[in-house]
Structure 1
Amino acid sequence: MATNWSSPPTRPPLIETLVSGVDRYNPSNVSILEDYLYHQIRSEEYDCLANLAILKLYQFNPDLYNPDVVINILIKALTSSPFPDFNLCISLLDERPAPPPSDEPDPLPQLLPLLTQLHALLHQCRFPAFWALYRSDAVENLRDNYTIECVGFEDAVREVAVRAVKAAFTSIGSERLGTYLDLSGDDLKAYVEKLGWTLNADTGVVSVPPNPDNQIESTVVQENIELSQLTKVIAHAAQTSLPVVPAV
């Protein structure tokens, strides 16, 4: 997992060279990294380190700042929960100098609180609340202008929910699962089948296959201490103990 995060198998050699070397701080390469970001938006690929390199360049070169790029980076990082990608991006934004004046309004100040709230709901596994906020009028601008362009965004959010369910459940009611995935009816059945899970039509219960996270197994730890070892411990304690000072 860590290897895929630091060096995704889909990363092109040119981007690998930029991200791994000193060229990541060369402002003339920002357009290459931005094009790679939009490739990620269109292809469902994700490369956190390459996107962080863009934010670092914006930090050092405020004149390069592009709010649409920043918002798209945050959208991609949003679906990496529970991993800390979103917070890593935010930390670079907090240190970014104020951008130069522009004729066009900056959409980031308006959308950043919404993105942060959506991330918090995902991180807390409050999936029904996430979908309620995401479908609300307050997030209309984000949906209509950004996430609609991000191929597979909603499925990526569902994958976050699936990871949480796999870690916590061996079985779950289909209605409850549907609120986590924002799916119902035939769409939910098709998604469950795609996951390889089993839906009992009579009880409406979805069985989650066993995995290391949802299996409760007791672990017995046994330590054998030989008498010779115990003798050394007692002797060492006796040598290091403080002398008793008689009362006056």
Structure 2
Amino acid sequence: MATVASVWASPPTRTPLIENLVSGVDRYNPNNVGILEDYLYHQIRSEEYDCLANLAILKLYQFNPDLYNPDVVINILIKALTSSPFPDFNLCLSLLDERPISQNPDEPDPLPTLLPVLTTLYNLLQQCRFPAFWAMYRSEEAEALRDNYTVECVGFEDAVRGVVIRAVKAAFKRIGKARLESYLDLSGDELAVYVEKLGWTFEVSIGVVAVPPNLDNNPQSTVVQEAIQLPQLTKIIKHAALIA
């Protein structure tokens, strides 16, 4: 877990320039917001992710409301949506100021409409309600999100499936094919190929997928032995007698 946290804090794909903007005094320089926004769109196109860099954008928007770009905010939230087990989505929400709905018909702000959709999707993922997540994501309510944003986010659906797989690995040794289909929103050959890539075993005859053992789904009992010397035990008894 420590390694995962280290990668989260400092992704290996982060360039020295971005490192300086994230960690140095230039973090609060509004002139650098364009560089950070370009870096976000690089993440959208490349399946990379850098939470701290994206949070720096939101902080700059917070201090400089004139810089606010709703499309950037939505894309940041989309990337944060699949960051489990880290609370990135909520960290992003904490930096969003309340804004009045735009009255300009030529440039309406899409965030007030899409934020409830994104929040619902995030909650469904966190609650491991995966079939409900896919139903919501495929619904008419999320059409604008799909057509205008996630379609541009390379690997978004596979990133969601990565969240699902982490949960399944932690909870199951074997899982029914139909259930796994509903969790991953895959069926037929697509599911078979996906399971094969994971290295899991598809027991076709009984419609079950075997999940390899890991620390979560196959806990091992351990016996802890403490060697206490007689002088130490004597001190403990004497101390207990004094307290009594």
TM-score (norm 2): 0.93
Partner of 1:245: none
Map Cα deviations across residues 147-194 of structure 1 (whole Å, 9 max, x no partner). 111111111100110111111111111111111100000111011111
Q: Does 1:29 align with 2:32?
A: yes
2:144 to 141, 144, 154: 141
Give the 3-state SS of the residue equivalent to 1:202 in structure 2: helix
Q: Give the superposed CA RMSD.
A: 1.6
Partner of 1:107: 110
For residues 99 and 182 of structure 2, the distance between their equivalents in structure 1, rounded to whole angstroms, comes to 40
Q: How does 1:118-157 map to 2 (within 5 A)?
A: 118-157=121-160
Partner of 1:183: 186
Contiguous gaps of at least 5 residues in structure 1? 242-248
How far is the alpha carbon of 1:127 from its aligned partner? 0.5
Map Cα deviations across residues 25-72 of structure 1 (whole Å, 9 max, x no partner). 100000000000011111111110100000000111111111110000
For residues 79 and 141 of structure 2, the distance between their equivalents in structure 1, rounded to whole angstroms, comes to 20
Q: How does 1:66-85 map to 2 (within 5 A)?
A: 66-85=69-88
Give the 3-state SS of the residue equivalent to 1:230 in structure 2: helix
| Bigger mean CA offset, 225-234 vs 107-116 | 225-234
Is the CA contact (8 Å cut-off) linking 2:102 and 2:109 kept in structure 1?
no
How far is the alpha carbon of 1:75 from its aligned partner? 0.2
Distance 1:159-1:100 versus aligned 2 partners, 3 A rule? closer
1:216 to 210, 214, 219: 219
Is the CA contact (8 Å cut-off) linking 2:74 and 2:111 kept in structure 1?
yes
How far is the alpha carbon of 1:105 from its aligned partner? 1.8
For residues 125 and 215 of structure 2, the distance between their equivalents in structure 1, rounded to whole angstroms, comes to 22
Larger radius of gyration: 1
Partner of 1:200: 203
Residue identity over aligned pairs, in percent, reads: 76
Partner of 1:48: 51
How far is the alpha carbon of 1:99 from its aligned partner? 7.2
Amino acid at match of 1:152: G
TM-score (norm 1): 0.91
Is the CA contact (8 Å cut-off) linking 2:102 and 2:108 kept in structure 1?
no
| Bigger mean CA offset, 128-137 vs 10-19 | 10-19
Amino acid at match of 1:139: A
Give the 3-state SS of the residue equivalent to 1:223 in structure 2: coil
For residues 221 and 8 of structure 1, the distance between their equivalents in structure 2, rounded to whole angstroms, comes to 37
Runs of 4+ in 1 over 6 A off after TM superposition: 99-102
Is the CA contact (8 Å cut-off) linking 2:101 and 2:109 kept in structure 1?
no
Q: How many residues align?
A: 239
Contiguous gaps of at least 5 residues in structure 2? none
How far is the alpha carbon of 1:231 from its aligned partner? 2.2
Is the CA contact (8 Å cut-off) linking 1:59 and 1:97 kept in structure 2?
no
